[in-house]
Amino acid sequence: MNIFENFKLLKEDMIRNGWVIEAFPFKYRNHSYIVLTKLYQGNKKPPYALLEVDILKRNDINISLTVPVNVNGFMTDARTLREFFGIAYSENIGDILSQFSEYFSNFIPTKVNLNKSQDLKDAMTNSLSKSDSQDPNKIYCFSIKRNPDTEKRTAFNDNKSRLLRPNLYKKFKDDQTVSFCYSSKSEKEKTDEEIINNFSNHS
């Protein structure tokens, strides 16, 4: 079996369930990481890549490594992996990196997991906001809007709303022309009932 076969299964499950991002924890040498697994959008995908992974240090998500992966492993050079994960250089570095990849593969889920810790959800939301050209601090939902010209909401707005406002999302998930609006100011946040009533009055 290919070393990162689980990434292939995970990608299939993400596509099946409409997710463009998934997160899982990873531990190595007493350091904790958050791994964000992302579907490539548009024509960004490098040749032979399966998914893009962002590996974030759990205690400081601003320290990260972004690499493409496929079923055969990480699509990057040995030095990049060594320096990020603090793997000591040795004569048999190829064997050590193979062992590292095999160890990493044990953490890769095969399906999307909806029961995540808050820091994993926060990292996903942060990434989704950036991908949608939004301020990552915009996490407070205050309204929903009908998109002009029956435009569909972005996959990033969709996934962010599933994470942050699951009950509100369920009511509008099938209407792709509705987008969810967020603010960085907590005082602007509205309840589901307020948002639905305001939307009904303006529709």
Based on the domain organization, do 100 and 64 belong to the same domain? yes
Based on the domain organization, do 62 and 150 belong to the same domain? no
Domain contains 150? yes
Q: How confident is the model at residue 203 (pLDDT cuts 50, 70, 90)?
A: low
pLDDT tens track for 28-87: 998 999 999 999 987 788 999 999 999 999 999 899 999 999 999 999 998 899 999 998
Domain contains 87? yes
Domain encompassing residue 184? 132-202
Based on the domain organization, do 163 and 94 belong to the same domain? no
Q: Is the pTM of this model over 0.75?
A: yes
Domain contains 122? no
Q: How confident is the model at residue 91 (pLDDT cuts 50, 70, 90)?
A: confident
Domain contains 114? no
Based on the domain organization, do 90 and 167 belong to the same domain? no
pLDDT at 152 over 70: yes
pLDDT tens track for 97-145: 889 999 999 999 999 998 999 999 999 999 999 998 889 999 999 999 9
Based on the domain organization, do 38 and 92 belong to the same domain? yes
Domain contains 156? yes
Domain boundary among 90, 105, 120: 105
Three-class SS of the chain: CCCCHHHHHHHHHHHHHCCCEEEEEEEECCEEEEEEEECCCCCCCCCCCCEEEEEEECCEEEEEEEEEEECCEECCCHHHHHHHHCCCCCCCHHHHHHHHHHHHHCCCCCCCCCCCCHHHHHHHHHHHHHHCCCCCCCCEEEEEEECHHHCCCCHHHHHHHHHHCHHHHHHHCCCCCEEEEEECCHHHCCCHHHHHHHHHHHC
